[in-house]
Amino acid sequence: MRAGSFSGGIRPPETKGRIENSPFSNLTVPHQCSIPIQHRAGTAARPVVAVGDVVREGQLIAADEGAGDIRVHASIPGRVMDIGDRPAHSGGCAPCIVIEAAGSFSGFGAAAPCDWTTLTPVEIVRRVREAGVMCAHGTGIPAARILAPPEGCAIDTIIVHGAECEPYLTAADMLLRAYPAEILEGARIALRALGASRAIIAIPKSLTTALAAIRTALAAHAGPGTVTVRPVSDKYPQGNERLIIKAAARKTIHAGTDLTRAGFAVLDAATVIALREAVLAEKPLIERPITVGGPGIRKPGNYKVRIGTAVEDVIRECEGLVDPAARVIMGGPISGTAVRDMRVPVTGTTTAIIALLGPDHGASGERECIRCGRCVAACPMGLMPHELDEAARQDRHDAREARGVEACIACHACSYVCPSRRPIGRRIDAARTNRQGAIDG
């Protein structure tokens, strides 16, 4: 079967050889966790514990019953030491609940797995909501909101993907290889919750072991709902929701069109596993499977990390940095965010911690645009990035709007291919959020 694809995109070197066969290990539970209680979109949950309280592993510590629909749980047992702002990956600060480890890990959730086929869609969504499962892709919205779309929106197709086409990242590949039956069952649970007719598991064609594992699981585990596997291209940014739908289902959904109203729901592999655990065992989201890699990490690999663990603690567990001057990034090296404070915690949407050395640091020595057109060819949304960049530099709001800046998916492919090393993607991001001064000032 020919791999599904999309227009534009880039093919960066994978550089995954050091850890492409690295199974997941559990990092040591940290002495202290700073657990974020603010949604990436800006909504903060309300603490339901106070400083001095003793909490259990998995206990609810913050909730938002409103539009944000957030549930936050203690990732370790211990005592609440503080509730307040802590360093965030964005460079500013965000509200966190700080827990110091103490006591025993007594466990949580159901005593025995339930038979999810007997649950109603409403009950499935309730369990996912109470577990605080959030999606790692996009804005990290609660998975329960995807499983319960607005009235009048009928979901026909679910896309489950393991697309990670940035250098060094291997966690999604390892999830597909290590837990194919669990991913398949999670997809079927999502099908039941949404009443959708089919689920497509989309996997980059180069991940041959993962493709074989999912196909073997499909042959061995019959169940309700139509589930198929679809190879997709290895291009970046394949993991974007609209692009994975284009590649896996051959359906174009234009910017500004809501996915649910087009009949689609998109979930990543880690989220599907988490929602399965929430439904079967009432396990809350307290850890993340991530890649810790790059040439700057002494012991790279794939790890399961407790939410709230500081980046510095993760790196220390991986035997530290090769060079103290290494640049640490949360997320992939193309789309991720530079870590300015090593106390920044792992969140429910963290996919990787990457340390880069020397020339891998990214663009430097910016030069004038030479109108080569490489950014235009690379843009998967058909935009003119060099024109958006110029409009952003001049702070011309009307020009940015006319050139479709809102359709930009912030993949930064334009910056990656620019021979003049212009930070096109960062400037467009800043223009959209009125942070021009933070880039050029």
Residue 335 lies in a domain: yes
Answer whether residue 6 is part of any domain.
no
* Same domain (yes/no): 79, 121: no
Of 337, 360, 383, at which residue does a domain stop?
Answer: 360
141 and 267 both lie in a single domain: yes
**pLDDT on residue 426:** 87
Angstrom distances, CA of residue 366 to CA of 10, 326, 362: 21, 21, 11
Euclidean distance between CA atoms 94 and 257, whole angstroms? 31
Contacts of 202 (CB under 8 A, 6+ apart): 4, 159, 160, 161, 162, 163, 229, 230, 231, 232, 244, 247, 248
Same domain, 275 and 143: yes
**What was the pLDDT predicted at 403?**
61
Let me know whether 258 and 144 are in one domain.
Answer: yes
Q: How many CB atoms within 10 Å of residue 121?
A: 14
pLDDT at position 19 is 87
Residues 124 and 229 in one domain: yes
pLDDT of residue 140: 79
Distance CA 317, CA 320 (A): 7
Q: Are residues 402 and 268 in the same domain?
A: no
What tens-digit pLDDT sequence spans the chain (441 residues)?
678 899 999 999 878 877 888 899 999 999 999 999 987 656 788 999 999 999 999 999 999 876 567 899 999 999 999 999 999 877 788 999 999 999 877 666 666 788 999 999 999 999 999 999 998 765 678 999 999 988 888 999 999 999 888 999 999 999 999 999 999 999 999 999 999 999 999 999 999 999 999 999 999 987 777 899 999 999 999 989 999 999 999 999 988 888 998 999 999 999 999 999 999 999 999 999 999 999 999 999 999 999 999 999 999 999 999 999 899 999 999 988 899 999 999 999 999 999 999 754 344 578 999 999 999 999 999 999 998 888 888 776 665 565 677 888 889 999 999 999 999 998 888 877 654 333 333
287-293 β-sheet, strand order: 24-26, 301-306, 287-293, 352-356, 327-330, 337-338
Residue 63, domain CATH: 3.10.20.600
User: What is the C-alpha R_g of the chain?
Assistant: 21
Question: What domain count does the chain have?
Answer: 3
* Nearest by Cα to 199 from 255, 139, 143, 266: 266
What does the alpha-carbon distance between residue 309 and residue 353 come to, in Å, rounded to a whole number? 12
The predicted pLDDT at position 250 comes to 93
- Residues counted in the chain: 441
Q: What is the pLDDT of residue 362?
A: 44
Query: Are 199 and 262 part of one and the same domain?
Result: yes
What pLDDT sits at residue 363? 46
Q: Which domain holds residue 164?
A: 116-281
Helix residue ranges, H only, 179-281: 180-194, 208-220, 241-249, 269-281
In a domain, 268, yes or no: yes
Number of C-beta neighbours around residue 249 at 10 A: 19
Let me know whether 137 and 232 are in one domain. Answer: yes
Q: Which pLDDT belongs to residue 432?
A: 73
Using DSSP's 3-state secondary structure scheme, residue 321 falls into strand
Please check whether residue 271 is in contact with residue 279, taking contact to mean a CB–CB distance below 8 angstroms.
no
| pLDDT, position 88 | 87
In a domain, 17, yes or no: no
pTM: 0.91
- For tokens 């929430």, name the residue: 278
Residue 368, domain member (yes or no): no
Shared-domain flag, residues 295 and 276: no
State which H helix or E strand residue 99 sits in: strand 93-101
* Cβ atoms of residues 379 and 405 within 8 Å: no
Q: Which residues of 80-106 are buried (b: 16+ CB within 10 A; e: fewer)?
A: beebeebbbbeeeebbbbbbebeeeee
Domain edge (last residue) among 253, 281, 309: 281
Residue whose token pair is 């690379």: 378
* Residue that is last in its domain, among 281, 303, 336: 281
Is 148 found in the same domain as 247?
yes
Whether residue 244 lies inside any domain: the answer is yes
